[in-house]
C-alpha cells in the first residue's frame, strides 16, 4: 500500500518536474535515501515496519528487525519515584530520620541522590515534569517532603506514638506509618500525588495531547529507528508501565499496579493495554482515526482506575474505621487519588467539585465522619460508570 | 484439523482425565450442584432480617430502661437497666458478623462496639456536655463499652450516687443508648423488605464472583472471625498480638461487668454457626453452607469438609468452656487455656477461609494487601 503510494507520488513528481535535476531516492525514511538527489526516480526501497498490519499482543514494535520502541526516560522516572518511596517508608520505623535535602535532591535529580549510577547520570527528573512545571504544585510537594523529614526527626526508636494532635508513627499489627498530627501519611500524599501530577498528567495531557501527537510521522528522527509520533506514543506508554508484556508483568507499581488491583471489577488491564497497542499500530499505519480512538480509551480507562482506586480506599477507610493506622493510611491514599483526578484530560469532575470532596473529608483523618466518606464516594460515583461498582470497589 | 492433531487432542483429553491437580485454583462450581437461591433466601429472610429485628427490640429495651434509670436512679432501676444492656449486647453478637450492605454503610460495628473505651475522654465529654460523637476519634467514647463503664465501673451504690449527683452523666448515657438504638433501627429498616429492601438486592446477587452475596457473606464472616472474634475477643486480651506478649485484661469485651465476656464469645460463635448451618431465627434448620458443601462433595483431606467444620466448631465451644473463671481473670491466671481457645479459632479460620471458599468458587478479597 505504502509502496504503491510512493510509486504514485513518484510518478506524479516525475510528471510535475521535467527539469534536469539529479535523480535518485528522495525519501528520507527509505533505506537507499540519496541526500544529493533532487528528484525522485521511483527507486526508493521503503524501510519496512515489520509488524505493520497486525496488532501485537505485547508492546514490541520493530523496523528492519530492530526495535523502534524507546521509553527509557520514563522508566528512569518510575525508578526514581520507586526509590524515593522506599526511602520515605524507611521513616515508618520510629527513630529513623529522613534527610530533607536528600528528598529534594531526589525530586529534582541533583547531587547524585540515587543508589544507582544509571539514575544519577540520567538527565531526567520528576520535578520539572510535575503538572507541566507548575511552580505552585512543585512547592506543594517540596513542602510535603520538608514536613516528612521534620516529622521523622521527632520519632523515637520503639515509640509508636502517633495520635490525634501528635506527629508520629501509628501502628496496626505489622503495619506502621509515619503520619502528621492530623493523620496524614506523608508518603502516600507524595507518592500517589506524583503518580498523578507527573505520570498521569504526562500521559493524558502531554504525550497524548495534540502538542505531542500533531508531529512528524513521515521521517525517522535523526539517528533513531522511530518517527517523532511513534516515540511520543512510546513515552506515554512508559509512564503507564515499564513492562512491554503488561499485565503479565508491570503490576508491581504505580498505574500498572492500580489498574491491576481494579481489574477484577473494572476490566482495566486489557482495555488499557489493548488501546496502547492499537494506537501504536495505528500510528505505524498512519491511521489517525484509530489512533485517536485509542487516545480517548486510554484517557477514559485511566480515569476509571484513578477514581475507582479513590473509592476503593474510601471503602477501606470505612471497613477499618476504628483502626487509626489503617483508616488514616487508606484515607491518605484516597485523598491523593482524588487530587490526581484533576491531572487527567478534561476530568469528569471539575477542580471545584474535587475541592468540595476533599473539603468534605475534612483536614483531620482522626476526626473523619462516615457520612462524609459516604458523600465523597457518591460524588466520585458520578465518574464514568463507577456508580454501579462503588459498593464493591 | 488433520488426523494427527485430532489424535493428539484425544490423547490430551485422556491424559487430562488421569492427571491430578495438586493445588486446584478456585473453580466456579456447577451452579446446578446446590440450590444457591434457597441459601440466599434463607440467609436474607430467615436469619439476617429477623436477626436485626430481634436486635432492634433489644436496643429499644435498653433505651427505655436507661431512661427509667436516669429519671430515677436506684439500685433496682440500675439492675434492671444492666440486664437490658447485657441482653442487647448479647443479641448484637448474632448480627455483628453482617458488616456489609446497610451494616457497612453505617459502619455499625465500629460505632457500636469498640473496646476498650477511653474513660478519661468519656469523663471529659460528660463535663463538657460534648454529645457529638460522630468522628472517627470518638469511637472509643461510646457504644457498649462506654455504657458498661458508666454502669459497672464502681459498686451499684456508687454508680447510683454518681448519676444522682450530676445530671450531665445521665445526658451522656442517654446519648449513648440512643445512638446504639438509632443505628440498629436504621440498619434494620434498610434491610427490611418493607422499607429499604436491601434484602431483595441481597437475594438477587447470585453467583460467586466479587460482589455476589455468597462472596460478600463469606468474606464478612471470615473477616469477623479473624479480626473481631479470634483477635478482638480472645487474642488481643491474651497478649497474642502484642510485642511483649503481656496479657491485657482491660481489653476483654465488657471488661467492667467482667463476668459476661465468655457468654458473648459463645453468642458470637453461635451467630457464625447459624450462618453456616442455615439456622433460622426460630431455631429451625434451613439451607446453609453445610448443605452447599455436602451437595458439592467438598472434601478436607479424606473426610467431608462439612464434617471437619462442624467438628471444629464443636472444638471451639469446648475450648470456651475450658477457660476457667472470667476472661479477665483467665488471661492473667490461665493464659495457656485462652491460648488454646485462640488456636481452636485459628483452626476454624483455616477451614472457613481456605477450604470453604475454594470449594464454593469464592475469592477472599478483604486481605487487600496493597503491601504499602
Cis peptide before A314 (omega within 30 of 0): no
> In which band, very low, low, confident or very high, does the pLDDT at A46 lie, cut at 50, 70 and 90?
low
Supply the mean pLDDT for chain A: 92
In angstroms, the CA A149 to CA A141 distance is 12
Beta strands in chain B (DSSP E): 299-300, 303-304
DSSP designation for A9? H
- Overall average pLDDT of the B97-124 stretch: 95
pLDDT of residue A299: 98
SS3 label, residue B169: helix
By Cβ distance, the residue of B136, B241, B372 closest to A367 is B136
C-alpha cell of residue B369: 494487601
Q: Answer yes or no: do B107 and A366 touch at CB < 8 A.
A: no
User: A316 — contact with chain B (CB < 8 Å)?
Assistant: yes
To the nearest whole angstrom, how far is the Cα of A136 from the nearest Cα of chain B?
A: 28
Whole-angstrom CA distances from A273 to A79, A235, A294, A298, B260 are 21, 14, 10, 9, 57
Neighbour count for residue B185 (Cβ, 10 Å): 15
pLDDT of residue A309: 98
Residue written as cell 434494620? B188
- Overall average pLDDT of the B8-29 stretch: 43
Q: Answer yes or no: do A368 and B135 touch at CB < 8 A.
A: yes
Mode of pairing for the β-strands spanning A175-179 and A39-40: unpaired
To the nearest whole angstrom, how far is the Cα of B79 from the nearest Cα of chain A?
A: 30
Neighbour count for residue B149 (Cβ, 10 Å): 23
By Cβ distance, the residue of B107, B210, B372 closest to A321 is B107
> In which band, very low, low, confident or very high, does the pLDDT at B5 lie, cut at 50, 70 and 90?
very low
- Overall average pLDDT of the A122-147 stretch: 97
pLDDT of residue A52: 61
- Overall average pLDDT of the A96-103 stretch: 98
In angstroms, the CA A368 to CA A320 distance is 12
Q: Answer yes or no: do A391 and B370 touch at CB < 8 A.
A: no
In angstroms, the CA B31 to CA B41 distance is 16
Residue written as cell 500521559? A203
Reported as a single tens digit per residue, the pLDDT across B229-266 is: 999 999 999 998 777 889 999 999 999 999 999 999 99
Whole-angstrom CA distances from A54 to A5, A58, A217, A281, B258 are 20, 12, 19, 7, 73
Query: Would the pTM of this model clear 0.85, i.e. be above it?
Result: no
> In which band, very low, low, confident or very high, does the pLDDT at A90 lie, cut at 50, 70 and 90?
very high
> CB–CB of A185/A317 below 8 Å?
no
Distance of CA B101 to the CA centre of its chain: 14
- What are residue A179's DSSP bridge partners? A168, A185
Residues of chain B with Cβ-Cβ distance to A318 below 8 Å are 104, 107
In angstroms, the CA A188 to CA B46 distance is 44
Which of B180, B169, B204, B152 is closest to B45 using CA atoms? B204
Query: Does residue A12 register a pLDDT over 80?
Result: no
In angstroms, the CA B180 to CA B185 distance is 9
Q: Answer yes or no: do A369 and B368 touch at CB < 8 A.
A: no
User: A164 — contact with chain B (CB < 8 Å)?
Assistant: yes
Residues of chain A with Cβ-Cβ distance to B104 below 8 Å are 318-319
Amino acid at each position: 500500500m505504502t509502496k504503491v503510494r510512493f510509486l504514485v507520488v513518484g510518478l506524479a513528481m516525475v510528471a510535475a518536474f521535467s527539469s534536469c535535476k539529479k535523480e535518485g531516492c528522495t525519501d528520507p525514511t527509505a533505506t537507499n535515501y540519496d541526500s544529493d538527489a533532487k528528484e525522485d526516480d521511483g527507486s526508493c526501497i521503503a524501510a519496512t515496519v515489520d509488524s505493520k498490519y497486525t496488532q501485537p499482543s505485547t508492546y514490541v514494535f520493530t523496523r528492519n528487525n530492530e526495535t523502534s520502541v524507546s521509553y527509557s526516560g520514563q522508566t528512569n522516572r518510575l525508578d526514581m519515584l520507586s526509590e524515593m518511596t522506599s526511602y520515605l517508608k524507611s521513616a515508618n520505623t520510629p527513630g529513623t530520620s529522613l534527610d530533607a535535602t536528600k528528598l529534594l535532591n531526589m525530586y529534582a535529580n541533583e547531587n547524585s541522590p540515587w543508589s544507582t549510577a544509571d539514575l544519577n547520570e540520567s538527565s531526567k527528573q520528576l520535578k520539572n515534569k510535575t503538572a507541566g512545571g507548575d511552580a505552585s504544585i512543585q512547592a506543594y510537594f517540596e513542602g510535603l517532603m520538608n514536613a516528612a523529614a521534620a516529622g521523622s526527626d521527632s520519632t523515637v526508636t520503639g515509640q509508636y506514638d502517633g495520635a490525634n494532635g501528635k506527629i508520629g508513627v501509628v501502628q496496626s499489627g505489622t503495619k506502621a506509618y509515619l503520619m502528621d498530627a492530623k493523620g496524614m501519611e506523608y508518603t502516600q500524599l507524595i507518592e500517589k500525588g506524583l503518580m498523578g501530577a507527573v505520570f498521569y498528567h504526562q500521559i493524558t495531557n502531554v504525550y497524548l495531547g495534540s502538542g505531542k501527537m500533531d508531529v512528524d510521522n513521515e521521517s525517522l528522527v535523526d539517528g533513531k529507528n522511530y518517527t517523532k509520533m511513534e516515540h511520543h506514543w512510546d513515552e506515554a506508554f512508559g509512564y503507564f508501565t515499564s513492562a512491554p508484556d503488561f499485565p503479565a508483568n508491570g503490576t508491581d507499581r504505580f498505574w500498572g499496579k492500580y489498574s491491576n488491583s481494579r481489574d477484577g471489577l473494572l476490566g482495566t488491564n486489557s482495555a488499557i493495554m489493548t488501546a496502547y497497542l492499537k494506537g501504536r499500530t495505528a500510528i505505524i499505519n498512519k491511521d489517525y482515526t484509530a489512533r485517536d480512538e485509542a487516545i480517548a480509551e486510554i484517557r477514559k480507562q485511566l480515569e476509571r482506575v484513578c477514581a475507582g482506586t479513590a473509592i476503593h480506599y474510601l471503602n477501606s477507610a470505612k471497613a477499618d474505621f476504628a483502626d487509626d493506622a489503617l483508616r488514616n493510611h487508606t484515607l491518605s491514599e484516597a485523598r491523593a487519588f482524588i487530587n490526581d483526578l484533576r491531572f487527567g484530560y478534561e476530568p469528569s469532575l471539575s477542580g471545584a467539585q474535587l475541592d468540595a470532596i476533599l473539603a468534605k473529608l475534612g483536614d483531620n483523618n482522626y476526626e473523619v465522619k462516615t457520612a462524609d466518606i459516604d458523600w465523597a464516594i457518591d460524588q466520585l460515583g458520578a465518574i464514568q460508570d463507577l456508580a454501579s461498582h462503588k459498593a464493591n470497589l | 484439523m488433520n488426523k494427527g492433531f485430532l489424535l493428539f487432542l484425544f490423547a490430551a483429553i485422556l491424559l487430562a482425565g488421569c492427571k491430578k491437580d495438586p493445588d486446584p485454583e478456585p473453580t466456579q462450581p456447577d451452579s446446578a450442584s446446590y440450590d444457591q437461591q434457597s441459601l440466599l433466601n434463607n440467609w436474607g429472610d430467615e436469619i439476617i432480617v429477623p436477626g436485626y429485628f430481634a436486635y432492634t427490640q433489644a436496643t429499644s429495651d435498653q433505651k427505655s430502661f436507661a431512661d427509667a434509670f436516669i429519671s430515677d436512679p436506684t439500685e433496682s432501676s440500675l439492675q434492671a437497666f444492666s440486664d437490658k444492656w447485657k441482653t442487647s449486647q448479647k443479641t448484637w453478637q448474632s448480627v455483628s458478623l453482617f458488616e456489609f450492605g446497610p451494616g457497612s454503610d453505617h459502619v455499625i460495628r465500629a460505632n457500636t462496639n469498640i473496646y476498650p473505651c477511653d474513660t478519661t475522654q468519656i469523663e471529659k465529654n460528660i463535663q463538657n456536655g460534648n454529645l457529638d460523637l460522630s468522628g472517627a476519634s470518638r469511637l472509643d467514647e461510646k457504644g457498649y463499652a462506654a455504657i458498661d463503664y458508666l454502669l459497672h465501673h464502681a459498686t451499684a451504690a456508687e454508680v447510683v450516687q454518681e448519676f444522682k449527683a450530676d445530671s450531665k452523666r445521665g445526658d451522656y448515657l442517654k446519648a449513648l443508648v440512643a445512638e446504639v438504638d438509632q443505628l440498629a433501627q436504621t440498619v434494620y429498616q434498610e434491610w427490611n423488605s418493607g422499607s429499604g429492601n436491601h434484602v431483595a438486592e441481597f437475594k438477587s446477587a447470585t453467583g460467586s464472583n466479587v460482589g455476589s452475596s455468597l462472596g460478600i457473606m463469606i468474606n464478612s464472616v471470615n473477616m469477623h472471625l479473624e479480626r473481631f472474634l479470634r483477635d478482638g475477643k480472645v487474642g488481643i486480651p491474651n497478649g497474642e498480638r502484642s510485642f511483649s506478649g503481656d496479657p491485657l485484661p482491660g481489653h476483654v469485651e465488657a471488661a467492667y461487668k467482667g463476668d459476661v465476656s465468655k457468654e458473648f464469645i459463645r453468642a458470637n460463635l453461635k451467630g457464625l454457626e447459624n450462618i453456616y448451618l442455615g439456622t433460622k431465627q426460630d431455631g429451625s434448620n434451613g439451607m446453609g453452607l453445610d448443605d452447599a458443601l455436602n451437595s458439592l462433595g467438598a472434601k478436607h483431606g479424606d473426610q467431608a469438609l462439612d464434617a471437619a467444620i462442624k467438628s471444629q466448631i464443636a472444638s471451639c465451644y469446648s475450648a470456651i468452656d475450658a477457660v476457667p473463671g472470667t476472661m479477665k481473670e483467665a488471661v492473667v491466671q490461665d493464659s495457656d487455656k485462652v491460648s488454646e481457645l485462640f488456636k481452636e479459632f485459628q483452626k476454624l479460620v483455616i477451614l472457613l477461609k481456605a477450604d470453604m471458599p475454594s470449594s464454593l468458587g469464592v475469592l477472599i478479597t478483604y486481605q487487600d494487601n496493597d503491601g504499602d
